[in-house]
Chain A
Amino acid sequence: MHARARVRLSENQVSQKKPVNRSLKQTPLCSLHKTLGARMGTFAGFDMPINYPTGIIAEHRHCRTAASLFDVSHMSQFCIRGSNGLAEIAAALELMVPGDIQGLRLGQLRYTMLTNDQGGVIDDVIVARVANHFHLIGNASRSKTDKKILCDKLPASISVTQLDRALIALQGPKAEEVLVRHMPKLRTINFMYGNKFELAGAECWVSRSGYTGEDGFEISVPANQAVEVAELILDEEEVKPAGLGARDSLRLEAGLCLYGHDLNETITPIEAGLHWTISRRRRAQKNFPGAHKILHQLIEGPKQQRIGLQPAGNILVREGAKINDTNGNNIGTVTSGGFGPTIGGPIAVGYIAKEKIHMGACLKLRVRNKEIEAAMTSLPFVQHRYRK
């Protein structure tokens, strides 16, 4: 096994070595993962389960057919409160994101992004309207940046607190069946809505949402009660744990963006194909950061756009691979790629020049000095099965 593997492995720290780095953060479920035999690795500064003994492919398939429990407590959770009511917070948040926050109903979630003045994405986030405050969930790698920007930009009357809560996702077609045994009213919750529930004696915020393309739920629970909640769910016979490896292959098949790969501060929501997250009112108001560029791209079309790629054969195409047209001209780059267990072969996502976009077109991908043929496809690779 060559050093490149080892370099990659050590970069991701996909090894069972005890973390040397003392500053490595742990989620409240860390010991539980180790008890379950997880292979741990570092992700955004956290010691996280990459996979359990059955392996990524088995975990991926289990999620598509039953229900898988993911620890996503590394994600940052913020409580945003204001002394002048929810309307003031919603209006202030809208100056930071292009999503419709003022229109959120009680319990509703919105997928949106913090944007910069150039229209780039600082982070992609979920904003939920909980009873008397807003709950914002961001990527672990952007935690400090998100907190700083929220604190800097929101008026003094609005407070931002990072919550000491775990986040547990149960994803898959049997997730509802499992969770209604403990929370009968969960059945009435639609996709991108949530409510407060008591689970294993803990006050939880449970929403119908996720990152796998499957129906499923995300449970925000106080850190000190997370183990009880996770164990309660894992006790159900349909449920198996799944790690970040399966989470990545599931989201890739579902065509969902991974921050730092498919999204960053130089990519706009329009280029990423996230125009649907910007409502008519927000387009008309033009009062979010980077509105000028984003709205211009909405009308004129962006220079580059995120597309799907299905490579022929079995060679995997990973992030960084160059995308060429059939004449050998470079027209883009792969930003996420790997093996799709449900597809049963390699899949990838990348950005290519707008004028080169023709679904079904044949492209050439550069992998280890070889050219691999690939077909341009729309996203997702695996249809979403959300319960709307």
Chain B
Amino acid sequence: MVNIRYTTEHEWIRLEQSSGEIVGAGIVGITDYAQQQLGDIVFVELPTLGAVLSQGDEAAVIESVKAASELYSPVGGEVVAVNENLTEQPALVNTDPAGSGWFVKIRLSDTNELNGLMDEASYRAFVDDLD
């Protein structure tokens, strides 16, 4: 089962699981709604490997033709992987925001932080409300 949580800032975190238990790391990206809002993304600045972030810290900078914005970490933890492909192909965030357009993988320092995030259904309702 895929376990994805969402923030009100339109980030997602896909959690690794083993037998239904969260094992401590998650891949982070922005939602399709967010990439649509931003438009053509032309530059992404990623954090350094090993950086330790608190929940809500800046994890990446996203530049679209229209505006600059930041991806803020949905959870606190250590950056254990970054999607280097985005350096050469930032448009992956537009074409596949939920897949190959991921940004960073974070090892969670506190799984309780997930409680404040939305599940898929809540996020959909949240986005529907915005339109």
Contact = CB atoms under 8 A, between A and B. Distances in A.
Interface of A: 1-6, 8-9, 12, 14-17, 39, 50-51, 55-57, 245, 249, 314-316, 318, 338-339, 341, 346, 368
Given A1-B30, A3-B9, A9 B61 contact: no
Contacts of B36: 39
A4 B61 CA distance: 11
A83 B34 CA distance: 57
Most buried by B among A8, A50, A318, A339: A339
A12 B66 contact: yes
B17 to A, nearest CB: 25
Interface of A is mostly: mixed
Given A9-B37, A57-B40, A16 B131 contact: yes
A6 B67 CA distance: 10
Interface residues of B, number: 28
A136 B19 CA distance: 72
Contacts of A57: 40, 42, 65
B52 interface: no
B10 interface: yes
A14 B66 CA distance: 9
Interface stretch (B69-77, B107-115, B118-126): B69-77
A341 B65 CA distance: 9
Contact of B61 (A15, A16, A56, A368): A368
Contacts of A5: 37-38, 62, 67-70
Contact of B10 (A1, A17, A316, A318): A1
A6 B9 contact: yes
A339 B70 contact: no
B65 A338 contact: yes
B93 to A, nearest CB: 11
Interface of B: 9-11, 30, 34, 36-40, 42-43, 45, 58, 61-63, 65-72, 94, 130-131
Contact of B70 (A1, A9, A39): A1
B67 A1 contact: no
A249 B40 CA distance: 12
B39 A1 contact: no
Nearest to B70: A2
A9 B69 CA distance: 9
A15 B38 CA distance: 9
Greatest chain A CB density within 10 A among B10, B61, B67, B69 is at B67
Contacts of A39: 36, 39
B68 A318 contact: yes
A315 B45 contact: yes
Contacts of B58: 2
Contacts of A56: 39-40, 65-66
8 contacts: A2-B58, A4-B68, A5-B69, A8-B67, A17-B130, A55-B65, A57-B40, A341-B65
Contacts of A4: 68-70
Contact of A2 (B37, B65, B71, B130): B71
A338 B61 CA distance: 15
B42 A339 contact: yes
Contacts of A315: 43, 45, 63
Nearest to B57: A2
Given A1-B11, A339-B65, 12 more contacts: A2-B72, A5-B38, A12-B67, A14-B39, A14-B66, A14-B67, A17-B130, A57-B65, A245-B66, A315-B43, A316-B68, A339-B40
A123 B63 CA distance: 31
B130 to A, nearest CB: 7
Contacts of A341: 65
Contacts of B130: 15, 17
A50 B42 contact: no
Contacts of A6: 9, 69
B68 A8 contact: yes
